[in-house]
Amino acid sequence: MFREKSLPKPLRSRWPHILLAILISIALSPSGVFLPLAENLHAANRAASKGKWSVVLDRLETAIHLEPALWSTHLEAASLALREEDAERALLHLSDPLPLDSRIDCLQVQAAIMTNDIQAAEQAWQRAGGSCEEKQDYYRALTLHYWDQNDRATARSVLEEWIEIEEADPQPYLQLGILLAVTQPEEAIAPLRKAQQFSNENVPLASALIRAIEDARETDIPAYTLASVGQALMQHAAWTPAIWAFEEALVQDPEYTEAHAYLGLALDQSGGNGYTHLQTAISKEPENSLIYIFLAYHCQMREKPKTAKIYLEAAAELDPANPAISAELAQVFVDLGDLEAAKDAYKITVSLAPEDVHFWYLLAQFSIERGIELESLGLPAARNAWLLDQDNVLGLVLLGNAHLMLGNIELAERLLWRAVQIDPNYALAQYYLGLLRHIQGYPQRAQAAWEYALYLDPAGSIGELARRMIQSFQPSP
């Protein structure tokens, strides 16, 4: 944002206060303007000392109105507006006639990125001669833009330019590796290894892609290699490049059934419609249970549980020992309101895979959340889940909530408090701790726990539950 490389960190952190002090001295000098200007700058300085940047911005804008000659204040106001994620307000300051200054162009780059105006961002970047410090933000935004436009050639050029400028940044290497993996898998290994080399922590997607490419070498079948890459990308929810990989696999082999099936699933997961590819796959292999499962997913995402049930029942007939199918059937029965059938399906699931903790969690949550056979079903399921996965606080939380619902308050408190001590940032634990405190008659403690749960999961289902509880049980002052 500013050219601060020569400044020590303490000075960089105090730039708003130094700027305001200078402006105040100008306003109070004999040649300065008048008292209201100085008062606004003093108020801005006080607000800056408290980190109240929106107030600082309001005061600076008032000062600019009083004395338009203070042109540099436009830059600081624009910077503060961007800090408050108000790009339109920043652009208003940057649109006034200002002296040539690369800082203006750099601020315009930031504002354009924030408003997703990539063309304007590129133009401002060129005017600044690439001197802006926010290189990573700029190149990331450009890559994402061309990625979304399916313009892989331009995205690759952007990534290669990014690598030239930031040779030790793992991000462009990873993204370049992904782009190459879906067209030229062998060429992807080098940048993927660079991403691992320059990262301070493990890069699971890079490792998965390298493994998929190397494992597929022995087959010497390009379509298989690309499909393996697509599967690795799907496992990390990288849906768009997964689509590219399966599309390339079908270019190599248009009759590749599994590529059609996985492409259909990837399209559905990315917000598209994979039905045509799924139908092509099932017409080629009508005995493949996996394709029926993908068709069921397709229907569930479109809120068609009755049709999903038909596909899952067909899959279960073909593969009766697959616990994932019965687990999905259980969810479909829940969607249809048939809780008895859902219970039976979950029981079948855990009987098919008694060592798989994931399915015990599903059964425990189903029983506990709906109060179905809590003592004989939900409590044992939660206990089994915790015994199989003692490093995961979810088991403790489910056990604690089960005992809470059964009225075993002391045991529930021990379990929930232990879960919170292990992971205080686990939103579900905080939510149930709030319920416990409410039942115990501590409304303020309950409120605090729910507020923290909402803070931890503001846009999620747990945060929404916490928000409802906060609104329903406002503690007395």
| SS3 category, 407 | coil
Is the CB of residue 234 less than 8 Å from the CB of residue 262?
Answer: yes
Is the CB of residue 81 less than 8 Å from the CB of residue 110?
Answer: no
Predicted pLDDT of residue 25: 42
- The per-residue pLDDT string of the chain (477 residues; one tens digit each, 9 = 90 and over) reads 333 333 333 333 333 443 444 344 444 444 444 445 455 555 555 555 545 545 555 555 565 554 455 555 666 666 666 666 666 666 665 665 555 556 777 777 777 777 778 888 888 888 878 778 778 888 888 898 888 888 999 999 999 999 998 888 999 999 999 999 999 999 999 999 999 999 988 899 999 999 999 999 888 899 999 999 999 999 999 999 999 999 999 999 999 999 999 999 999 999 999 999 999 999 999 999 999 999 999 999 999 999 999 999 999 999 999 999 999 999 999 999 999 999 999 999 999 999 999 999 999 999 998 999 999 999 999 999 999 998 899 999 999 999 999 999 999 999 999 999 999 999 999 999 999 999 999 999 999 999 999 999 998 999 999 999 999 887 555
Residue length, the chain? 477
- In angstroms, the CA 325 to CA 175 distance is 34
Residues 6+ apart with CB under 8 A from 331: 300, 342
The Cα-based distances of 73 to 37, 66, 257 in angstroms read 13, 12, 63
Predicted pLDDT of residue 310: 97
Q: Classify the C-alpha dihedral 236-239-245-246 as positive or negative.
A: positive
Predicted pLDDT of residue 238: 93
Predicted pLDDT of residue 11: 30
Task: Output the DSSP codes for 265-306.
Answer: HHHHHTTS--HHHHHHHHHH-TT-HHHHHHHHHHHHHTT-HH
- In angstroms, the CA 218 to CA 232 distance is 18
| SS3 category, 47 | helix
